[in-house]
Amino acid sequence: MRWPRLLVNVAGNQAVWFVAVIAASYGHAWPGVLAAAAFVGVHVVTATAPRVELKLVGAALACGVVVDGIAASQGWLRYAAPLPGGEGLPPAWILALWASLAVTLNVAMRSLQRRRWLGVLVGGIGGPLAYLAASKGWDAARFADPAWRGVAWLAVAWAMALPGLLWAAREWSADAPADSR
């Protein structure tokens, strides 16, 4: 892998995270959605297997609906800039972050694909830390008291979701026919 592609992938994902979280803290979901759409769009257009990348985006969005939907519906986490009438549903900006994550699976996180235990650790620790940063730094999400319930759910869910997505990235990339490029 070339370093410029890796750096652009990492920087792009981080930029989407900051845009989404900061905008959500001001009550706006769409800047994060637009930033993610641009990042994901450019990535897919330049990817060697765009169909694989689109499948990964779909899988990540499904994970986001489940992980953040359960957190919201159980009242463990309240999100800024929620969907109108979407009580118990993840907001658009959170789903945008899941889509952005998807396009890092074959680039920035590629080395984790063969190390499932490391994917469990990165997901189980890094996932909740990202939510805590969004909560403490920008008030884009709020954990209900006692906060440990929401953090524990995110740790368990991310410890399963990230390795699952990494497995899918590895399997789908290996199976990608030449005409999908």
Please tell me whether the overall predicted TM-score, pTM, comes out greater than 0.85 for this model: yes
Q: How many domains does the chain have?
A: 1
d(CA 153, CA 39): 28
pLDDT score of 164: 98
Burial annotation 18-38 (CB, 10 A radius, 16+ → b, else e): ebbbbbbbeebbebbbebbee
pLDDT tens track of the chain, all 181 residues?
Answer: 588 999 999 999 999 999 999 999 999 999 999 999 999 999 999 999 999 999 999 999 999 999 999 999 999 999 999 988 788 899 999 999 999 999 999 999 999 999 999 999 999 999 999 999 999 999 999 999 999 999 999 999 999 999 999 999 999 998 876 555 4
Locate all alpha helices (DSSP H) within 26-91, ordered by sequence.
30-46, 50-73
Please give the C-alpha separations between residue 179 and each of 8, 44, 54, 105, 171, in angstroms, as whole numbers. Answer: 26, 15, 15, 21, 17
Question: What contacts 45, CB < 8 A, 6 or more positions away?
Answer: none
Contacts of 106 (CB under 8 A, 6+ apart): 47, 52, 53, 56, 169, 173
Q: Between the CA atoms of 98, 110, 18 and 28, what dihedral angle is there, to the nearest 10 degrees? A: -20
Q: Identify the domain containing residue 27 by its residue range.
A: 3-180
